[in-house]
Structure 1
């Protein structure tokens, strides 16, 4: 199978990606109530990754605001 190559990070939509990631985390928390133990473990792991993404996105947004280039990145 060929390796897929990720493109450069498009920072112009960081705020929308942040909101979407938080919504996914919240939905996953609700889903855990009805999931098997195996699925709960997978959901928790995924939410840990999402939490890291939230931190990174918040840093990106703050950096863009600080640089004065908001809307141009």
Structure 2
């Protein structure tokens, strides 16, 4: 079995798409939280958004690392 080479060419763009998608999900969940009277659904969505916020922190750190790698590998 042949290993695939490490292709990091589109990592920054891929991570940015994931960040955008996650932020969009947070906004949509907040809209549902504001519109629903179901307290259980609100708690679940709030917990989900907290996990999303933590994931965003990691993705933002990762995108910085990838951007730095790209900058250093071009020279």
Aligned length: 60
Unaligned runs of 5+ in 2: 1-7
Q: CA deviation at 1:37?
A: 0.4
Residues 21-69 of structure 1 show CA distances to partners (whole Å, capped at 9, x for unaligned) of 0000011001101221000000000000000111011001000011126
Runs of 4+ in 1 over 2 A off after TM superposition: none
TM norm structure 2: 0.73
Q: Take 1:33 and 1:64, find their aligned partners in 2: how far apart are those partners?
A: 36
| Aligned pairs (5 A) from 1:25-64 | 25-35=26-36, 36-64=38-66
Match of 1:14 in 2: 15
Greater share of helix: 2
Unaligned runs of 5+ in 1: 1-9
User: Which protein has the larger Cα radius of gyration, Structure 1 or Structure 2?
Assistant: 2
